[in-house]
Structure 1
Amino acid sequence: MNRKVIKVALIVVAILVGICLLAVSALMAISGAWTRRTYLEPWGRDYASSHADPRVRLVATGLLAASNHNMQPWLIRLDEDDASSFLLYADSSRMTPQVDPEARQLMISQGTFLEYVAVAGEHEGWDVRIDLFPDGQYDEDHLAESMNETPVARVTLSAAEAHDAPLFDATFLPDTNRAAYEPQALSPEQVATLEALPEQDDEGTVSVLQDDTDVRTIGQYAMRAATIEAGVARVMDEGNAIFRANERQKNLYRYGYSVEGQGTTGLMKHILQGLLTLRPSLNTGPAASENFIRSTQTSVDATPAYAMIVTDDNSRRAQVESGMLYSRLVLTGHTLGLAMQPLSQVLEEYPEMRVPHDEFQALYAPDGGTVQMVFRVGQPTENVPVSMRRDVMDLIEG
């Protein structure tokens, strides 16, 4: 090869490299790679402490809890006559009626929040009293209106001796890890610790299931449910509507889904966000359905154990209490080196899911109870990023 040909080849390579660099830079700009990420500020250690009102500080920790579809469906009304008390309401404007028509997941999310509040209170030296449904139950025939009028809980603080809160540090860790888990089973000590977490007989039971038959059976139901859900357009559209394709959208909305939830980070996150901003169709319709099935299969294939929460009934109180128990499981799991991810599509109550839902309930709650949650458990193979959170003052009315 003569020098002229080599020179031309080098020029072509340089041009191609330049084009690639320009393309990557453009995608990063479209993604908002250099945008300040205000949606992550609530995860800062000094975020809650910047508020003088102890109730607001505890709420600021509560909003780090897991919630259905990361909707963060919480409304707080500070008691104007009692500086030690606040009311928690379910935010009816954040219902997801297609995937959660009976609002069961939304009520579980009230419990996840309350448990984080209790842990934060213990850390700050407060005795946190939680009274569920202090003004009575919902009018189920007018559920959304009743949510606006009827509190889920009254939370009252009273001074207590400060002591170590072993779960508090774990509130700053991601509540969900969708990555692969190590293949080894949980140890007997880990299983015993998790299954002993219910504090009262009526709070429900925790079962860790890791024999081959259960792992295979639950995985099959997870895939069957994912396939059904992927084929129900209105359910998929509801989820796609809360997908945030870039940093600007995440700062604007601060709830819902993003690419980090599927484990994409670093440079690839911004390249993918840029592409999804330019071509939203990459994450809608058949593409979204295929991605959902594929990600569920990846999770099922890398799961050594499942766990589930079963309650004696399916009352609103039982739903909230199961959420409190789930947060306790997540936080305790962190202290044991374990990660968790809900795979609860088979528990959803919309019509197309009815057959596998009823089969699963009959199989794992044969005595008439209700499986409130089923989730993966295991030692994670990688760390995952935290997800979007709203500003604490957006939760507080008035």
Structure 2
Amino acid sequence: MEIVMVSRRGVLKLVGGGTVLAAGSVGTFVAMNGPSRAAREPWRQAGLYESYRKRALSYALLAPNPHNLQPWQVSLDGEDALTLYHDPERRLPATDPYDRQITIGCGAFLELLSIAAAEDGYRTEITAFPDGSDLQALDRRPVARVTFHAGRARPDPLFAHILARRSNKEVYENRDVDTDKRNALVAAGAVYGQTAGCIGNDLLAVKLRDLTWRAHQVEVMTDYTYQESLDLMRIGAKEVTNSPDGIELEGPMIAAGRLLGLVNRKTLADPSSSAFRQGLDMYRAMAMSARGFAWISNSNATRQDQINAGRAYARLNLKATELGIGIHPWSQSLQEYPEMAELYREVHDLVGGGERLQMLVRIGYGPKIMPTPRRGLDAHLV
């Protein structure tokens, strides 16, 4: 499906399908079918709470996380502590069977929590998995306990970039990222005992562009892994408003496609449909536009390593925001299910360095984009 808006003639057209909206109707249609504003309200509410813990949490829930599941549950303990749990209903059993990516998302949450608390002068004492953990799967034991210590922290310069942080899932410009900026990304990610790497548009990047695209194809052409994504798709602003999580598909083009029955879960699931094929074309263009790659790795010996990888990735993402660099996780080849095993070995041979790759992202310069939907603070408090 391709929809073209011709502003000079005032006509919204679906290629091959004739006129959808005549002149004079386009502006109204676009205005009524834009992205959900309500689903982005938590970005505007960040920092507006009276309680310092809720202020910190209101920034933490903006953290990057897999498939935008936002798998965080929090209990406020006493006057100066909280406990973080993962939500057992928000997992990715097909593509993340050992909850590694979910744990990384919890680490990113904790890092933004710590940065935001420091802005108020509070040092966070974070104890990951205080009651133990299992590398095979997360359970109901706490992910972390956090104690706040007043007057013991200095503001972190990365705080200024939390509200502008994005995962930029667009085609990047034909412009390379210079060495100094790539080195700054490595420095930002090489914290908490992590190994960070970053390359520009070189021969290794050519190999990684091809590999990451093949990994994407494996995921969408494998029924049960693609179904996991389909189940998390929110199609149209109404669905996004009602469920501000998962993979949002919204805007006037999506609305027009829905109106004509060309964009829905059935067509998106059908490899022979134009919606499916053009979705592949869109992602291929994104993959091939990468102007370099960055990654984070460690020994993956414990859940603490995964938490630390998430904390390091949050800092790398914020540094990219500061530098004006687009960044987009492209980690399908790091996933642990049988159909991905060959590419898992290949990517580790290329850049693993004998460690477990925890994050792999493409970098470049992309257009300005909106923040992803968020569920809001009350949805996370238990």
Q: TM-score band, normalised by the shorter chain?
A: 0.7 to 0.9
CA distance in 2, matches of 1:18, 1:90: 44
Contact kept, 8 Å, 1:35 with 1:248, in 2: the verdict is: no
**SS of equivalent residue, structure 2 residue 369:** coil
Q: Kindly name which structure, 1 or 2, has the bigger radius of gyration based on alpha carbons.
A: 1
Please state if 1:338 is matched with 2:338.
no
CA distance in 2, matches of 1:374, 1:290: 25
- The answer on whether the counterparts of 1:246 and 1:274 sit within 8 Å (CA) in structure 2 is no
- The correspondence for 2:92, drawn from 86, 96, 100, is 96
Query: How far apart are 1:26 and its partner, in Å?
Result: 9.1
Q: Which residue of 2 aligns with 1:355?
A: 342
- Deviation readout 1:219-240 (Å, 9 max, x if unpaired): 1111111121121111111111
1:277-292 mapped onto 2 (5 Å cutoff) = 279-286=264-271, 287=273, 289-292=276-279
Deviation at 1:316, TM superposition (A): 1.4
Report the equivalent of 2:9.
none
Partner SS for 2:63: coil
3-state SS of paired residue (1:208):
strand
Kindly provide the amino acid, as one letter, of the partner of residue 74 in structure 1.
W
The letter for the 1-side match of 2:82 is: F
Which of 294, 312, 323 is the aligned partner of 1:325? 312
Instruction: Verify the 8 A CA contact 1:27 1:275 in the aligned structure 2.
Output: no
Higher strand share: 2
In 2, Cα distance between the equivalents of 1:189 and 1:19? 49
1:151 and 2:142 aligned: yes
- Give the 5 Å matches for 1:112-123: 112-123=108-119
Greater CA drift, 90-99 or 169-178: 169-178
Q: Counterpart in 1 of 2:5?
A: none
Aligned match of 1:219: 209
Task: Report the secondary structure of 1:182's partner residue.
Answer: coil
Check the 8 A contact 1:245/1:258 in 2, yes or no.
yes
Amino acid at match of 1:248: K
**Partner in structure 2 of residue 377 of structure 1:** 363
- Give the aligned partner of residue 13 of structure 2: none
1:54-93 matches, cutoff 5 A: 54-79=52-77, 82-93=78-89
Q: Give the letter for the 1:132 counterpart.
A: A
Deviations 1:115-134 (A, max 9, x none): 11111112222112212112
What is the alpha-carbon distance in structure 2 between the residues aligned to residue 178 and residue 59 of structure 1?
A: 25
- Residues in 2 aligned to 1:273 and 1:55: alpha-carbon distance in whole angstroms: 42
How many positions carry a matched residue from both structures?
Answer: 363
Partner of 1:12: none
1:204 maps to which residue?
A: 194
TM-score normalised per structure 1: 0.83
Evaluate the alpha carbon distance shift between residue 35 and residue 18 of structure 1 in structure 2; reply closer, same or farther with a 3 A threshold. Answer: closer
Asked if 1 retains the 8 angstrom alpha-carbon contact of 2:60 and 2:112, the reply is yes
Alignment match, 1:396: 381
Task: Give the alignment's TM-score, normalised by structure 2.
Answer: 0.86
Residue among 297, 316, 320 paired with 1:310: 297
Question: What is the one-letter code of the residue matched to 2:37?
Answer: R
**2:109 paired with 1:107:** no
Pairwise CA distance, 1:304: 1.2
Task: Give the distance between the partners of 1:230 and 1:217, measured in 2 at CA.
Answer: 20
Corresponding residue to 1:240 among 210, 230, 250: 230
Q: Is the 8 A contact 2:267 2:276 kept in 1?
A: no
Contact (CA 8 Å) 1:204, 1:310: kept in 2 or not?
Answer: yes
Q: Contact 1:28/1:274 (CA < 8 Å) preserved in 2?
A: no
Runs (5+) with no aligned partner, structure 1: 1-15
Contact 2:189 2:316 in 1 (8 A): no
Confirm whether residue 51 of structure 1 aligns to residue 49 of structure 2: yes
Aligned residue number for residue 40 of structure 1: 40
**Secondary structure of 1:227's partner?**
helix
Tell me how far 1:18 sits from its aligned partner: 10
Higher helix share: 1
Question: Structure 1 residues 270 and 204 mapped into 2: Cα distance closer, same or farther (>3 Å)?
Answer: same
Give 1:111 shift.
0.9
The one of 126, 130, 134 equivalent to 1:134 is 130
| 298-307 or 62-71: bigger deviation | 298-307
For the aligned residue pairs, the C-alpha RMSD in angstroms reads: 2.7
Please say if residues 63 and 392 of structure 1, whose CA atoms lie closer than 8 Å, have aligned partners that are also in contact.
yes
Which moved further from structure 2: 108-117 or 180-189?
180-189
